[in-house]
């Protein structure tokens, strides 16, 4: 049966107004997509059943066949392991009787034997669309929940990764006398499901259960079910023309570029800034030093602190590059209408009280705004969001932010996180931003639009995101996959847990996907997943300063035995390698480090290296040269070093040595610094900023405590490994 | 067959110099321990096989029987599903032929059918002794590794917990038409294995595989293997007389009490303290202000800074309460001999370079010391350790520590961690210590000895530990179980990961157990597991201030939407409950909180409550009263509050309100405070210590960021739930 057959099948289902294919039909469809299915035949007489079973060879399986037959096992319509003509005849009669008026025939198959049962399938995720599933099958499917996903379309390497991801993937190897599973066939199953999902939006779900790996390694789909969408095909985003998408993207890029470099901004709902407390949107813009033409709009004021105010947008002397809306929620639709009337196209709505409330009034208001915006061709950032941070053009729509411009961008659904993260990254690590966007309820502009803009923004080298849900998951996946090859995309995904997911839907009204689907997203795109703003800053710092790493093999040079054990635990947890040194390397180290109190292992525990810089330098040179190590973490305990000299100046000396000569002697191998400080003494703590500044100025990432350093380095090396693998 | 039969069986094995029981013998043994085994009989003729199978009913299983028969399946000695006399005869002949001279008969059993296969077993863990295992069986055992453990002896509730712990425990319920598994029988299996392990130290391992749950729910051990220790019984710690243990414990408690309150201390290897850098052991003691009689011992010095020095211990005017040894490793054995000669019994050895090096010279030196110590009845803390911290008696054998005395004790294998943790807990949270011990290589005194001492120490209310391995796991388990009911035991276990475990064995030479065994330890004792010193401080703070909690249901009152989503994720991760409010409670809250910009959900996002204390008070009162909530976390964003008033004094007002009136209105419900601060502005940061001090002085735990608060509270409520469950 060829592809024409598939079209016929689907037509037939539509005509008969069914929502699913029969088992036979399902397997015809799968077979057309290259999925190996069990040999089978529909028979309508006992004699035919006998003769077909002779052709197939005993034992066989006999099942009821008919468009209305479901729950076959429960209805006694499945008879397995039939070994003789008499058994077949008996089974045939029993099935026919049990199926009664639903009976249209019997389905006969050879019995597929094999201990290894899997499930495979396709379904449509609300955010990501067609998604392929693979997992452990048989009676344990539900009990063990050992399944994994990939978002379609899949290619070979992703199919392989999906096969390897489940815990029971060991079963695919040589297993208890049964041969290695046929990889090519397994791949065909997954790629076939992927293709089917992409090509047939009217198919909601495909379920292959069991997918049996036979003792000789061959793979067979033994039972299958294909279910259709109740309301016919879903809107086919897949089919949307690339040019159309690109045309819209180009327009939005231009619009955002105009907004980001806005020469004129109107603040609708501008108020006189209070001296303390939240200064209002006009105050935010003015306080940060916006240098363009700033127009407060408020019918009740003639001016704000000497700047002329306007009663409405119509009264403005010009259409502006950006309109900021900060009026109460019920007035927002009218402002949007006025924007259309006055030719103001790009609008940031700060106001909240819409869909995110989960209440009817707010939801309806947002729907009204959406209609206005779409009809009027408005580009809306928000509502319920903080908006823009562009240090270069002094554009800031929240209270405070650093003034320096840098190469990291941040895109966030949450406004609070935008302000917090940009400030935190600056405060803790001196990270500087090119742009930050907070887009809240994403009325017309969503994460994908900002991502696309930043992909084309030359100033931006690293993209960080706080994300709850996405509206167009497929475009998001595609964009992140592409961008991540050039510019690392680091994502803090809120609502990964189920409880979390609940709070997400209440927060911005976006539908958050299940944790396993998001796992698939991260595995497919290679985007870097972090779990807090603090971790995002840690990881961004490593990406910012270290560039490409060569691998995961890392050593820690420090002192204190207990720290050593926790280092090993941390590496094990994050996937960073802490290799055992070769005897040769140990010997070399031994020559440099006197034995007393030192541990010549990995981690290296050698106080003496911190007291004697010649030793430190020699050790770093050795570690820089050896192929056994890709990265060096140096752990500096301030409490101990403080006592080396009056006032603690020795801390600075160590930092300066490591950041200068020490690093040079390590020969450019990626180096990360760690400081630890425990004593409650102000005179030690005051050295912390000094030390951090020395390392950061030298481009060496520096963290409090080994765990954060290990985690950041682990994520950087994993990213590099993904890129090397996927770009090779 | 009764217990006499068991003794006979074991005798027979010894006489025949075997290392394992046959399948039949194994099941006789298990049966004697109340474990339900499959009915079976050994037959030695075809006719007998036929007649026994008729009695049992078809189908049956036939296996080869004989003391030398192993790998039966591979040798073709297992024939299952025999359904007729002719099949039995054929199978009998085949087995006899295949087994050849090893054949002693055939074992016949009814075929036990059931989809649900488990494994159960007993083995001897190097640290914890007899341990019971339960897990998913069948062909997936190795592939899925779904097993869990409990250290023997088990009681009913622990057996139940073990059954529930595996991922596939769902299989024990109603499953695909098969009935709920017989709990009583399953418990019998686990308790039987536990008893067997406790009573027969000569048995190394018991393996029941498969343990089948039949369709009617009954449980049968179908195959079993019992393996003996190669060198006969292991030393039976279990049999050690309780009085003997208690006698030694009492002596050690007294000795430690004398050391802790030492009126005289000698420092062997005392040096003149350097002005900067490590001051040496004598310097440490003097600098901290030790008030007793301090004797420096060094043959090369006549005095140290005016304090008379002695050439050796013999020259001292008295035996001292504590000898501190800080001479190079090779000289330590001689010092120990001198201690014996001079009647000095309690010794802290600071020196390192012994077993922890993993090198032969060090290992041999430590063995020599052990022999001397045991023969001379010495009580040794160390070697390779930091020793003592007792603020009350000004006893400190490391560089710096706070002088205030409190109610938290710390016991640590690692010296670095001891100094770091006590200082960190003091600096960050004002936690004060009763005693801290660092015991390093544990030559004679191990963690259990310090634990036992602290259990009896009235000053100590909470015990914290850093632990790598233990020498007497069984005593440790027993002690922690008992102590933890009165005084929470919080343990940072180093080397839980495999890589970590490697570093542990290199660090102090103790054998660290596998992660799953330690999981069993924590589940059995209810001790609180933490994963870093910082987390230990967080958790200790919650235990210290909050007392008993009523449950896990927690609300977070704060502001900023993004924070809300991460709160839910954090609660989901740690097991703290963040319940959805009832419509009634939402209505009540709505009456108090104006709608604009506020989210009346859990978490509650209401900036207005932080600006208007009346609202805050009313909300807290409502939350204090409702049964829907057990605990309240208040999250205070300093950056926002700073702007409310010139100079940021509003931050202090909020803290003072919450710690005073606010807390009162919450009616004594456990309250935890959180601060968040992101902006890089010194003028905001300077309020952090002010705010922390206000909360801590009021006995309210305060953390940076919601995740740490959630985690600490989750561990406290889990502890309380365990205590309620186990003391009920």
d(CA B183, CA A395): 67
B566 Cβ under 8 Å from any chain A Cβ? yes
Burial (CB < 10 A; 0-12, 13-18, 19+), residue A225, is middle
In DSSP terms, which residues pair with A226 in a beta bridge? A206
Q: Would you tell me which residues 134-153 of chain A have a C-beta closer than 8 angstroms to some C-beta of chain B?
A: 136, 139-140, 142-146
A417 Cβ under 8 Å from any chain B Cβ? yes
Q: Given the structure tokens 């995309």, which residue do they identify?
A: A489
d(CA A146, CA A153): 22
A100 Cβ under 8 Å from any chain B Cβ? no
Alpha carbon of B191 to those of A336, A345, B130, B184, B705: distances in Å? 73, 75, 12, 10, 45
Residue B703 is predicted with a pLDDT of 97
Token digits of residue A411: 């895109």
Token digits of residue B610: 């932080």
Alpha carbon of B353 to those of A162, A557, B324, B331, B365: distances in Å? 49, 19, 16, 11, 9
H helix or E strand, kind and range, residue B227: strand B224-228
Residues 6+ apart with CB under 8 A from B185: B36, B218, B219
B283 Cβ under 8 Å from any chain A Cβ? no
Mean pLDDT confidence for A587-615: 88
Q: Mind listing the pLDDT tens digit for each residue in B401-426?
A: 999 999 999 999 988 899 999 999 99
Mean pLDDT confidence for A690-719: 97
Query: CA-nearest residue of chain A to B685?
Result: A427
pLDDT category of residue B256 using cuts at 50, 70 and 90: very high
d(CA B186, CA B172): 10
Q: Which residues of A touch B566 (CB under 8 A)?
A: 494, 500, 532
Token digits of residue B129: 């002794």
Chain A interface, mutation test: which of B281, B561, B601, most A Cβ atoms within 10 Å? B561
B613 Cβ under 8 Å from any chain A Cβ? no
Chain B interface, mutation test: which of A562, A595, A704, most B Cβ atoms within 10 Å? A562
Q: Would you tell me which residues 444-483 of chain B have a C-beta closer than 8 angstroms to some C-beta of chain A?
A: 466, 468
d(CA B568, CA A110): 51
Residues 6+ apart with CB under 8 A from B235: B201
Chain B interface, mutation test: which of A561, A586, A606, A711, most B Cβ atoms within 10 Å? A561
State the smallest CA–CA distance between residue A520 and chain B in angstroms: 19
B679/A400 CB distance under 8 A: yes
Instruction: State the average pLDDT for chain A.
Output: 91
Between β-strands B116-125 and B105-110, what pairing exists: parallel, antiparallel or unpaired?
Answer: unpaired
In DSSP terms, which residues pair with A636 in a beta bridge? A675
Q: For residue B334, how many other CB atoms are within 10 A of its CB? A: 12
Question: In angstroms, how far is CA A533 from the centroid of its own chain?
Answer: 15
B680/A427 CB distance under 8 A: yes
Residue A76 is predicted with a pLDDT of 87
State the smallest CA–CA distance between residue A399 and chain B in angstroms: 9
Q: Which residues of A touch B400 (CB under 8 A)?
A: 639, 679, 681
Q: Mind listing the pLDDT tens digit for each residue in B9-28?
A: 888 888 888 888 999 999 99
B562 Cβ under 8 Å from any chain A Cβ? yes
Between β-strands A264-268 and A322-325, what pairing exists: parallel, antiparallel or unpaired?
Answer: parallel
B571 Cβ under 8 Å from any chain A Cβ? yes
A597 Cβ under 8 Å from any chain B Cβ? yes
Q: Mind listing the pLDDT tens digit for each residue in B122-136?
A: 998 888 989 999 999
Residue B414 is predicted with a pLDDT of 87
Angle at A328 between CA A325 and CA A333, to 5 degrees: 65
3-state secondary structure string across A650-670? HHHHHHHHHHHHHHHHCCCCC
Mean pLDDT confidence for A125-138: 89
Nearest CB among B115, B421, B680 relative to A139 is that of B115
d(CA B578, CA B559): 16
Q: Given the structure tokens 């290392």, which residue do they identify?
A: B19
Listing DSSP states for B651-709 in one string gives HHHHHHHIIIIIHHHTTT--EEEEEE--S--HHHHTHHHHHHHHHHHTT--EEESHHHH
DSSP state of A445: -
Instruction: State the average pLDDT for chain B.
Output: 91
Burial (CB < 10 A; 0-12, 13-18, 19+), residue B4, is exposed
Mean pLDDT confidence for B589-601: 82
How many residues are listed for chain B in this entry? 728
Q: Please, which contacts does B574-578 make with residues 24 or more away whose CB atoms are closer than 8 Å? A: B574/B710, B574/B711, B574/B714, B574/B715, B575/B714, B575/B718, B576/B552, B576/B710, B576/B713, B576/B714, B576/B717, B577/B551, B577/B552, B577/B553, B578/A499, B578/A503, B578/B554, B578/B602, B578/B603
Contact indicator for B302, B308 with CB cutoff of 8 Å:
yes
Residue A235 is predicted with a pLDDT of 56
Contact indicator for A163, A198 with CB cutoff of 8 Å:
no
Contact indicator for B415, A597 with CB cutoff of 8 Å:
no
Query: Which value, in Å, is the radius of gyration of the alpha carbons in chain A?
Result: 32
- Between the two ends of chain A, the Cα-to-Cα distance in Å is 38
Alpha carbon of A8 to those of A4, A232, B701: distances in Å? 6, 16, 69
Q: Mind listing the pLDDT tens digit for each residue in A146-190?
A: 889 999 999 999 999 999 999 889 999 998 889 999 999 999 999
Q: Which residues of B touch A504 (CB under 8 A)?
A: 565, 568
Residue B239 is predicted with a pLDDT of 53
pLDDT category of residue A236 using cuts at 50, 70 and 90: low
Listing DSSP states for A156-178 in one string gives HHHHHHHHHHSGGGGGGSSBTTB
DSSP state of A96: H
d(CA B469, CA A422): 43
Q: Given the structure tokens 């049962």, which residue do they identify?
A: A117
Q: Would you tell me which residues 691-710 of chain A have a C-beta closer than 8 angstroms to some C-beta of chain B?
A: 705, 707
- A526-530, B119-123, B630-634: the lowest-pLDDT one: B119-123
Mean pLDDT confidence for A608-621: 95
B402 Cβ under 8 Å from any chain A Cβ? yes
Residue B3 is predicted with a pLDDT of 46
Nearest CB among B384, B426, B639 relative to A680 is that of B426
- A432-441, B25-34, B429-438, B676-685: the lowest-pLDDT one: B676-685
d(CA A614, CA A14): 81
The yes-or-no verdict on residue B598 having pLDDT over 80 is no
Q: For A219, left (φ over 0), alpha (ψ -120 to 50), or beta?
A: beta
Mean pLDDT confidence for A467-487: 93
Query: Which value, in Å, is the radius of gyration of the alpha carbons in chain B?
Result: 32
A559/B416 CB distance under 8 A: yes
SS3 content of chain B, % helix, strand, coil (to 5): 45, 20, 35
SS3 A327: coil
Contact indicator for A376, B524 with CB cutoff of 8 Å:
no
A168/B140 CB distance under 8 A: yes
Tell me what ipTM this predicted complex has: 0.90
Between β-strands B60-65 and B105-110, what pairing exists: parallel, antiparallel or unpaired?
Answer: antiparallel
Nearest CB among B414, B564, B678 relative to A427 is that of B678
B357/A603 CB distance under 8 A: no
More confident call, B204 vs B265:
B265
Q: Which residues of B touch A361 (CB under 8 A)?
A: none
The yes-or-no verdict on residue A3 having pLDDT over 70 is no
Strand order across the B462-467 sheet: B395-396, B387-390, B433-438, B405-412, B462-467, B489-493, B528-530
How many Cα neighbours within 13 Å face the side chain of A297?
25
A254 Cβ under 8 Å from any chain B Cβ? no
A506/B601 CB distance under 8 A: yes
Residue B707 is predicted with a pLDDT of 93
3-state secondary structure string across B704-717? ECHHHHHHHHHHHH
Burial (CB < 10 A; 0-12, 13-18, 19+), residue B68, is exposed
- Burial code (b: 16+ CB inside 10 Å, e: under 16) for B310-333 equals bebbeebeeebbbbbbbbebeebb
Token digits of residue B320: 């001292």
Q: Mind listing the pLDDT tens digit for each residue in B29-70?
A: 999 999 999 999 999 999 999 999 999 999 999 999 988 887
Phi then psi for residue A464, to 5 deg, are -110, 150
SS3 A233: coil
pLDDT category of residue A562 using cuts at 50, 70 and 90: very low
B495/A357 CB distance under 8 A: no
């Amino acid at each position: 049966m060829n592809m024409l057959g598939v079209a016929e099948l689907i037509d037939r289902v539509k005509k008969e107004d069914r929502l699913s294919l029969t088992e036979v039909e399902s397997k015809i469809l799968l077979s057309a997509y290259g999925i190996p299915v069990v040999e089978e035949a529909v028979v309508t007489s006992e004699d035919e059943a006998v003769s077909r079973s002779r052709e197939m060879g005993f034992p066989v399986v006999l099942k009821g066949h008919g468009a209305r037959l479901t729950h076959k096992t429960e209805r006694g319509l499945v008879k397995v392991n039939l070994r003789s003509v008499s058994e077949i005849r008996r089974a045939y009669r029993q099935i026919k009787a049990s199926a009664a008026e639903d009976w249209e025939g019997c389905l006969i198959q050879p019995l597929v034997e094999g201990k290894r049962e899997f499930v495979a399938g396709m379904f449509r995720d609300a955010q990501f669309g067609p998604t392929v599933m693979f997992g452990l099958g048989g009676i344990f499917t539900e009990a063990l929940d050992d399944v994994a996903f990939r978002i379609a379309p899949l290619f070979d390497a992703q199919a392989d990764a999906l096969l390897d991801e489940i815990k029971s993937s060991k079963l695919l190897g040589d297993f208890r006398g049964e041969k290695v599973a046929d990889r090519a066939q397994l791949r065909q199953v997954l790629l076939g499901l992927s293709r089917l999902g992409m090509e047939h939006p009217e198919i909601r779900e495909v379920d292959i259960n069991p997918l049996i790996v036979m003792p000789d390694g061959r793979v067979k789909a033994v039972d299958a079910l294909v279910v259709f969408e109740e309301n016919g095909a879903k809107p086919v985003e897949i089919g949307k023309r690339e040019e159309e998408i690109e045309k819209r993207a180009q327009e939005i890029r231009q619009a955002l570029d105009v907004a980001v470099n806005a020469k004129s901004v109107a603040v609708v709902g501008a108020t006189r800034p209070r001296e303390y407390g939240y200064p209002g949107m006009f105050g935010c813009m003015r306080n940060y030093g916006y240098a363009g033409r700033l127009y407060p709009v408020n019918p009740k004021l003639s001016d704000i602190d000497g700047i002329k105010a306007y009663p409405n947008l119509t009264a403005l002397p010009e259409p502006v590059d950006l309109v900021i809306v900060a009026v109460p929620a019920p007035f927002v639709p009218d402002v949007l209408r006025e924007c259309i009337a006055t030719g103001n196209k790009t609008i940031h709505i700060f106001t909240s009280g819409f869909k995110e409330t989960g209440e009817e009034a707010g939801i309806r208001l947002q729907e009204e705004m959406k209609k206005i915006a779409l009809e009027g061709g408005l580009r809306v950032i928000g509502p319920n969001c903080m908006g823009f941070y562009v240090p270069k053009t002094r554009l800031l729509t929240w209270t405070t932010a650093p003034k320096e411009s840098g190469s990291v961008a941040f895109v966030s659904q949450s406004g609070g996180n935008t302000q917090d993260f940009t400030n935190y990254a600056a405060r803790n690590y001196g990270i500087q931003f090119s742009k930050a966007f907070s887009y809240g309820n994403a009325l017309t502009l969503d994460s994908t639009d900002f991502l696309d803009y930043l992909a084309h923004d030359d100033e931006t080298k690293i993209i960080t995101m706080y994300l709850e849900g996405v509206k167009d998951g497929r475009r998001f996946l595609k964009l992140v996959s592409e961008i991540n090859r050039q510019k690392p995309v680091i994502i803090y995904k809120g609502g990964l847990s189920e409880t979390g997911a609940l709070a997400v839907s209440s927060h911005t009204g976006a539908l958050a996907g299940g944790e396993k689907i998001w796992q698939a997203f991260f595995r497919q795109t290679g985007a870097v997943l972090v779990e807090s703003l603090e971790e995002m800053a840690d990881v961004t710092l490593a990406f910012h300063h270290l560039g490409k790493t060569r691998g995961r093999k890392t050593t820690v040079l420090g002192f204190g035995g207990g720290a050593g054990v926790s280092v090993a635990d941390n590496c094990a947890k994050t996937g960073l390698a802490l290799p055992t040194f070769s005897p040769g390397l140990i010997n070399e180290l031994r020559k440099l480090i006197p034995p007393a109190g030192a541990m010549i292992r990995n981690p290296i525990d050698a106080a003496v290296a911190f007291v004697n810089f010649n030793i430190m330098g020699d050790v770093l040179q050795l570690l820089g040269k050896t192929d056994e190590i890709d990265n060096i973490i140096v752990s500096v305990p301030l409490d101990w070093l403080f006592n080396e000299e009056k006032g603690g100046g020795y801390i600075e000396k160590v930092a300066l040595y490591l950041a200068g000569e020490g690093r040079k002697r390590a020969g450019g191998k990626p180096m990360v610094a760690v400081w630890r400080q425990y004593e409650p003494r102000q005179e030690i703590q005051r050295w912390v900023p000094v030390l951090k500044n020395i390392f950061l100025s030298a481009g060496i990432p520096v963290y409090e405590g080994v765990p954060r350093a290990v985690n950041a380095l682990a994520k950087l090396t994993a990213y590099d490994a993904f890129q090397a693998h996927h770009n090779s």
